[in-house]
Chain A
Amino acid sequence: MKAFETFETPSAARVNYINAEYGLKSWLLTRDHKRIALLYLGSISVFFFIGGLYAMFIRLELLTPQGDLLSSTTYNKVFTQHGIIMIFFFLIPSIPATLGNFLVPMMIGAKDLAFPRINLLSWYIYLLGGIVTIWALLAGGIDTGWTFYAPYSTTFSNSYVVATGAGIFISGFSSILTGLNFIVTIHTMRAPGMTWFRLPLFIWAHYATSLIMILGTPVVAITILLLAFERLAHVGIFDPAAGGDPVLFQHLFWFYSHPAVYIMVLPGMGVISELIANFSRKNIFGYKFVAFSSLAIAVFGFLVWGHHLFVASQSVYAGMIFSFLSFAVAIPSAIKVFNWTATLYKASISYDTPMLYALGFIGLFTIGGMTGLFLASLAVDVHLSDTYFVVAHFHYIMVGGTLLAYLGGLHYWWPKITGRMYPEGWGRFSALVVFVGFNLTFLPQFIAGYLGMPRRYHAYPPEFQVFNVLSTAGASILGVGLIIPFIYLLWSMRYGKRAEPNPWHLPGLEWRTPSPPPTENFLATPVVTWEAYEFAPPEEMQVIGKMEEEETV
């Protein structure tokens, strides 16, 4: 924060981070966090598209009870690869690596992240991991489920387990580096006056997420490594035939993968806090509660992995402790929902697209969170685990939560990122389509789950068909709702209305610089004299460092 000083304001055709340099090399070797965010945006979009294609095949196959579209082997690979691509290559990097990368420095008033080269390195590592994984999928694919349970994955599966694992192992390091970069940046590079409790809640959420990335990701890396050793050399870690314990794998795997759920959802909560506050022009009700609840979730999130093992021969007493802790971790999330809702009291609420996504998020996240209580509840979980109820529950959190937050955030910051407005009418329309399609896809799966339909079934008894037909119909609508923004966002990059520096009239630092911002983010060093979400008349929320310049011209 002390590092940079006011510099000359460009007067004529404004130089911004996009037109500052041209050519492929200027992108591939950039150290600008905003350009790296765009590199991530492009690559995760490709992975999202691949994961979406797999989802399409799953839904088409399940339209009829017979396994008639794909062979069993292919179906098993399709749902496995849907999970792996969506979780490791879309959801985990989605908000932190794109919106987080772009906005963490801007929101705290820094020129860049603390380690710009490491930031670029993280993208290359992610890309390498992605390429290795895609290679494994093309070479033959993997059929273990995204959870890689031993001993199926170590002994019985005849697919590219080690190669896929290698891809995930590699890409994990990009998470660790991103987390490290965020933590150091947030600690050391805040602008003058940007105290901890003036930080936007987006930053708090990313801080909490970064902690999980640094502490959790090494565990999944070790787990995958052990899995590879076991598969290649049969050393007897997980394979009972050689004296190992397959349940040990589940403990290790979920020790990372449950916190990973919070890697996926906490940044989404950060986005939603921004959207709710800014589109209702109110400071978040109970800012500190919401900020600390992110940290509480990050800490408690490490203590609940055993709730994935209630029927896996875990001790009864361990089960009871994990159940208790799982209920406890629900409380900080509940607080957030209540505080977001209370923020809207006596507010000035706009119906812009990002706000529609935020409202949708609150509704869906409430359902996703409440259905999590069913699964934390021991006796009910015995019936529900490994059924479609679980599938519906985590899609409510990950799609209804994270994906909606991501889309809402993308629309919200789109003018800043691209310097262009997206078409508002289309935006609202597609938000509505996504909401309807999503609910139609996943609500019936709760019912099918309680009726006993197991997950990962290629064929199923005919009485479940009606729910699957509804799901597939919903998924088609959801697909349309996701293709529309893809088209108009691309369109708007060239033809959209030019964005003002502060199109929504907001106080955040990212809005006090031109759209798109210059490479150095701000025209002058910002000095923060206002609280987070302290709304003021537009003339008091001008671009920092530009006003005098405009007057002199």
Chain B
Amino acid sequence: MQTSWIPFVPDSASTVSGKVDALYFYLSGVTVFFTLLISGVLIFFVIKYRRRNPFEIPRPIDGSHKLETLWSVIPFIIAMSMFAWGAQIYFENSRPPQNANEIYVVGKQWMWKIQHSTGQREINELHVPVGRKIKLIMTSEDTIHDFFIPAFRIKTDVLPGKYTTQWFEATVPGKYHLFCAEYCGMNHSGMIGSVIVMQPTDFDNWLSGNASQQSPAVAGQQLFQSLGCVSCHGGSGEGGRGPELAGLFGRKVFLSNNQTLTADEAYIRESIENPGAKVVSGFNPIMPTFQGQVTPEQLIQIISYIKSLPGEGAKPATGAPASATSPTTTSSPAGASATPAKK
């Protein structure tokens, strides 16, 4: 934000953007320095040592190990400083903070469908508050897209059959570009929109003003009923012929092939679409596939419902992903409270 007076730098409106800009300025400085150095020396030599006599033969110089080592080592050190700096920011940003609000993003040719955890849907617009951490959980209905917000300096591919995440914390209210940055066919350049960053109070007003829609967890619960999941997994996921789903998210799962894994979005999704792939230990592979019967959006809703089911007593041993779920339920009161109400 304080860099807005520097030319040729886009709006800087997230907690990350300033860090990326600082590295960018370092890289630009080094580039300008070396470009000027090389061209300066070139021009100087070319003028000073121009050919004065058509047949002159300058004294040969074979090289100098000292100099060559010097100009191998110095660039290497500079390159490593760039590597370390870039990797550090990247690594920091690779893990979404645990208390982030979750927003679901589905890309399809050629639009962005967005749903807040409280149920509000948007198309090609994303409203977010200043100062809160936002985690985007993204997937695609067709080909690969890429959710790119230049003002936040973030970008991640949105893939079919897979969830990718990225997170940000906006710092400056305003309206910013949202681009699809992975070529996705005819109207790729029309797959654009805006990110609208609001003050938290304005955002909360906006959120309540649009609250007529179902939250994904509630919609997921209805799907859970209508698809017949309840007959094996129980009316509120307590289990039966199928494994217990309540508290599943983030829990360690023991599989019939003696492997263990931690239940995450990808695992739940796979178990819905391809139930035979990873069968929970002690259960028979009797579940039919739901591939083709549920859309990517409905999958998100079902997963969101399963995530909202509170576990009983059996607290998961693994730390990070498990605790990441609890803020989800607390931050989406509509979803969490609706579940017991239905019972």
Contact = CB atoms under 8 A, between A and B. Distances in A.
Interface of A: 67, 72-73, 76, 143-145, 149, 151-152, 155-157, 240-241, 243, 246-247, 280-283, 285-289, 310-313, 316, 319-320, 323-324, 327-328, 330-331, 334-335, 337-339, 341-342, 344-351, 359, 362-363, 366-367, 370-371, 373-374, 376-383, 385-387, 447, 450-452, 454-461, 505, 533-538
Contacts of B27: 373-374, 377, 380
A102 to B, nearest CB: 27
Contacts of A319: 90
A283 B185 contact: no
Nearest to A467: B8
5 contacts: A241-B160, A283-B61, A286-B68, A327-B79, A380-B27
A370 B24 contact: no
A320 B91 contact: yes
Contacts, number: 284
Contacts of B59: 346
Contacts of B162: 240, 313
A286 B180 CA distance: 47
Contact of B159 (A247, A460, A533): A247
Given A327-B80, A342-B67, A377-B27, 6 more contacts: A240-B162, A311-B146, A320-B87, A362-B42, A366-B34, A383-B150
B61 A382 contact: no
Contacts of B227: none
B239 interface: no
B64 A286 contact: yes
Determine the interface band of chain B, counting residues with CB < 8 A from chain A: 35 or more
Interface string B71-109: 110011001101101111111011000000000000001
Nearest to A337: B38
Name the residue among B60, B86, B154, B159 with the largest chain A CB count within 10 angstroms. Answer: B86
Nearest to B88: A379
Nearest to A367: B35
A145 B49 contact: no
Contacts of A143: 185-186
A538 B83 contact: no
Given A344-B45, A373-B82, A452-B10, A385 B155 contact: yes
A312 B159 CA distance: 8
B120 to A, nearest CB: 26
Contacts of A334: 71-72, 75
Name the residue among B42, B162, B180 with the largest chain A CB count within 10 angstroms. Answer: B42
Contacts of A337: 38
A359 B82 contact: no
A386 B71 contact: no
A447 B39 CA distance: 21
A152 B71 contact: no
Contacts of B46: 344, 349, 351, 359
B156 interface: yes
Contacts of A533: 60
A450 to B, nearest CB: 6
A328 B79 CA distance: 8
A316 B82 contact: no
A370 B31 contact: yes
B326 interface: no
Contact of A72 (B39, B57, B146, B187): B187
Contact of B79 (A330, A362, A378, A386): A330
Contacts of B342: none
Contact of A377 (B49, B86, B159): B86
Contact of B148 (A67, A151, A379, A454): A454
A76 B186 contact: yes
A316 B16 CA distance: 17
B190 A459 contact: yes
A152 B31 contact: no
B181 interface: yes
Contact of A156 (B41, B53, B142): B142
Given A379-B93, A536-B57, A386 B41 contact: no
B42 to A, nearest CB: 6
A341 B45 contact: yes
Interface string B138-156: 0000111010101101111
A240 B157 CA distance: 15
Contacts of B68: 286, 289, 335, 338-339
A313 B157 contact: yes
B155 A363 contact: no
A296 B61 CA distance: 24
A456 B76 contact: no
B146 to A, nearest CB: 6
B38 to A, nearest CB: 5
Contacts of A385: 155, 181
